[in-house]
Each structure stands twice: as C-alpha cells, then as structure tokens.
Amino acid sequence: MRKQQYSIGEMSQLCNVSKKALRFYDKIGLISSLRHDYNNYRLYTHDELLMVPVLKYYKQMGFKLDEMKEFIAGANGNVYSSMQSAFEKKIHELQNAKIELQRCEESVRDWHALLREAEQVIVEGVREISVKYVEQANLLYQEQPFEGDIKSAIINIHFMDYVEKTGNAITGPVYIRFSSLEDRMEGRPQNIRIMQNVLMPCGGGGRVSFGGCMMASCYHVGEIETIPETYDRFISWVRRHGYTPGTACYERYVTDYWTTSNSDYHVTELLVKVSRDGMEKHPEAHGAGAESRHGRGRSQDLL
C-alpha cells in the first residue's frame, strides 16, 4: 500500500531531486507541500510526488519553470490550444538555438584546423614554395584603404561593423587582397580587400569569388611586419621557375593577432596567381560587386 504523505527527504530520495529544488518548487507554487502545525515540516501527497517526473520531462524538452506552471495548471481557457501555442513557440526557439549551436561548432572546427595547420608549419619547418590549385570560395568582402597598419587591417573594426550590419557571422581565416604586389613588397599605401568566409544561413552584403585557379603559395612565420623579406624570396622563386605573377597578392592569416599576441607563433600564407607563357591567362577582376535588391551582393569574377 502506497504512502499518503512523504517528507521532503523521502521526495528527494525517491525522485532524485535536491531538497533545495523542492523548496523552490514549493515557493513558486509548482509543487506545493503541506505543513505540520507543530513543527512546520513539509509533507507531500502522492499526487505531488508524481509531479516531479512530469517536470523533469518538460525540462528535458527545454521548458522553463514559469512556462511549465502556466500550461500544467490548465487555467488559460482551452488547455490544448494553450499548450500547442507553448510547444510551437518552443519549437521555434529550439530551431534558432540549433542554428546558433551549428554556427558555434563550425567556427570552433575552423579555428582548430588553423591551429593544427600553424603548428605543423612551425614544427616541421615548412618553408617550401609551391604552385597549387586553390579551391574556389565565395567570401564576404569590403574594400578599404591601407596605410601600413597590418594589425588594424586584420582585427578590422570597420569590417566587423560591416559584418554585423549585413546580418552575417564569419568564420575561418582573414584574407587580404593587396591590389598591388609591388606596393606590398615596398610597403607603400594601397587599396585592399578584406575577405572572410560566412556561416550559414548567410546575411546580405557583397560576395567575391576567391581561388578556382593555380596560385603560388609560401608560408611566412613570425612578425607579419617583416613579410616583405619573405615576398622577396617568394617572387624570386616564382620568376626563376618560369612563372609570371599577377599584379595582386593575397595573404591568408592562419594564426595572427586574433590567436595570440606572441608574434613567434604567427603564420601567414602568401598567395599569388601565376601564369606561364603559352598558358591561358585570366585577367584579375578589380571592380566591386554591386549588391542586389535583396541585400545579397553579386559575386565577383575569380580573384
């Protein structure tokens, strides 16, 4: 024969819920207790005992205590209508949370991959120059003037403001397109294009197609300010091996000021489109992609 009344200790043990939680449920009127007149001890009925598994199940579905209280009581007119409205609202909340969680996971995975790449470059002393096919990517971009402050170009306040205003979220490495390879090697001011991959679902803003072609590649390790020295070696190799570099150059920041203030661990990939005599040459695109009426920019030509 079941008991008719249970102490708070028995409730806690039977339902695997803390006494503190039971006291709080009692305080907000979700699972009420009886009180002895002479000692004020809490006592619970069997019906109150059976409420605990119900609350646990609603908690599993993501409902908050005030939400549970509202539709469990069934005091708002049509019980089914009230509950359906609450469940539809919760489904919408969970779908948004799922999207946000997927964005977080993708961002963490992208960052983790960059850390592994940088570690491999440093530990294995990767300094080789190569020509490789770079996969095409559709990146969010913004054109800006560059006066030589590379840190402010990478941790870019104006670009971050643009990302937020266009309703985007970004992931992966920052890319910078320097319109003039020669000016980059000489440290002269020029126009640049900040580029970065966006997380789904995408917002508005302009997009530019990067890659989809053969490019010469080389890693620079250490202070990004000393990168012209690596460019000298890089472009000398490119020309010595019979390639003609494009007029623009690209820097892909594997690890940088976003990652650590210790410049010994900064790793940058230099990328230049190359061609050879007799090979088909594709002119680089210099114009900006106009945004569509819906806010999503038209993709640029390759590079």
By mean pLDDT, which of 121-130, 188-197, 271-280 is the weakest?
271-280
Kind plus residue range of the DSSP H or E element containing 195: strand 190-198
Is residue 296 pLDDT above 70, yes or no?
no
The reported pLDDT for the residue numbered 195 is 98
Q: Which of 259, 262, 264, 268 is nearest to 178 (CA)?
A: 268
Residue 244 near residue 175 (C-beta atoms within 8 A): no
pLDDT digits (tens, 9 = 90+) for 75-103: 666 778 878 888 999 999 999 999 999 99
Give residue 208's pLDDT.
Answer: 97
pLDDT tens, residue by residue, 202-215: 999 999 999 999 99
**pLDDT score recorded for residue 66:** 87
Condensed to tens digits (0 to 9), the pLDDT of residues 133-173 reads 999 999 999 999 999 999 999 999 999 999 999 999 999 99
Measured between alpha carbons, how far is residue 302 from residues 26, 238, 246, 258 in Å? 65, 21, 13, 27
